[in-house]
């Protein structure tokens, strides 16, 4: 079996949100699809370890925010690589609640769909939730939706560990290629390092101003307790790319 065939399947990228009482949570999800037109039904697959999964099981509601192409890894970070068990992702985001009371993320969304769960199927690592659409809205009619391929190739993001499409071996070996000698130039430039968990690239020319790291700071000179601004892992999860 050649699992590379799996990577030829196309997906979008969404924020799926739900609630547990007055607590909200959501996460980046690529397995969202319409399964019926009459009545209108959507399905999402969500990892059993995700907090949002337990929220959907309790509230029997979920919303899908369809993201625009113009997003950064810094935006994806909390939604894709951090758990609602550790942070409240809704404190700094623009959202509203829908007809079911379910939170709906509006930041970077071009449209949203709100569903009430009618069926759940245990598929192994994930649960497939099937929901009847109770409401939907277009927010930005002229912007294209973000595809998973665009996220990988242009935004340079990787799959969160709980995504159905996550393959640890492929993601990690692919990033550990030797630097290309063709890339070397006459000017000696400080090396760039890439986070193998989320794909964030540390550029010494930019530093990490959000954490008080001045432009011009090499990766080697970063404090040992410095962490990836997107997913929060330590320096040991970075590999030199050039």
Under the rule (CB under 5 A), what is the footprint of Fe ion? 195, 197-198, 200, 228, 230-231
Q: How many CB atoms are closer than 10 A to CB 9?
A: 10
**Cα(240)–Cα(96) distance, integer angstroms:** 41
Q: How far is the CB of 195 from Fe ion (least distance, A)?
A: 3
**Cα(32)–Cα(46) distance, integer angstroms:** 10
Between 215 and 234, CB nearer to Fe ion: 234
Between 15 and 230, CB nearer to Fe ion: 230
Q: How far is the CB of 141 from Fe ion (least distance, A)?
A: 33
**Cα(168)–Cα(149) distance, integer angstroms:** 18
Between 56 and 231, CB nearer to Fe ion: 231
**Cα(239)–Cα(217) distance, integer angstroms:** 17
Between 24 and 200, CB nearer to Fe ion: 200
| All residues at 6 or more sequence positions from 33 whose CB lies less than 8 Å from its CB, including other chains | 42, 43
Between 15 and 197, CB nearer to Fe ion: 197
Q: How far is the CB of 203 from Fe ion (least distance, A)?
A: 14
Q: How far is the CB of 224 from Fe ion (least distance, A)?
A: 16
Between 14 and 200, CB nearer to Fe ion: 200
Q: How far is the CB of 118 from Fe ion (least distance, A)?
A: 37
For the chain, strand residue ranges (E) read 14-20, 23-29, 32-36, 41-47, 61-67, 95-97, 103-105, 109-122, 126-138, 193-195, 201-202, 238-240
Q: Phi and psi at residue 17, in whole multiples of 5°? A: -125, 155
Q: How far is the CB of 230 from Fe ion (least distance, A)?
A: 4
Phi-psi region of 140 (alpha: psi -120 to 50; beta: other; left: phi over 0): beta
């Amino acid at each position: 079996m050649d699992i590379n065939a799996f990577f030829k399947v196309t997906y979008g990228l969404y924020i799926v949100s739900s609630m547990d009482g007055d607590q909200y949570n959501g996460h980046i999800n690529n397995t969202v699809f319409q399964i019926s037109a009459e009545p209108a039904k959507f399905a999402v697959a969500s990892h059993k370890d995700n907090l949002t999964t337990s929220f959907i099981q309790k509230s029997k509601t979920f919303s899908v925010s369809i993201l625009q192409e113009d997003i950064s890894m810094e935006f994806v970070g909390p939604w894709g690589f951090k758990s609602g068990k550790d942070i409240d992702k809704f404190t700094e985001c623009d959202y509203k609640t829908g007809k079911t009371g379910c939170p709906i993320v509006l930041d970077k969304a071009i449209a949203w769909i709100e569903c009430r769960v009618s069926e759940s199927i245990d598929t192994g690592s994930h649960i497939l939730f099937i929901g009847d659409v109770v409401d939907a809205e277009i927010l930005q009619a002229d912007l294209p939706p973000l595809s998973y391929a665009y996220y990988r190739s242009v935004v340079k993001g990787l799959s969160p560990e709980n995504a159905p499409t996550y393959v640890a071996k492929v993601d990690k070996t692919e990033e550990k290629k030797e630097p290309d000698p063709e890339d070397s130039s006459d000017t000696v430039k400080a090396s760039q390092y890439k986070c193998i968990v989320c794909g964030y690239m540390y550029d010494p020319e930019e530093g990490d101003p959000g954490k008080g790291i001045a432009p011009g700071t090499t990766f080697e000179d970063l404090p040992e307790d410095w962490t990836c601004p997107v997913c929060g892992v330590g320096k040991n999860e970075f590999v030199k790319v050039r």
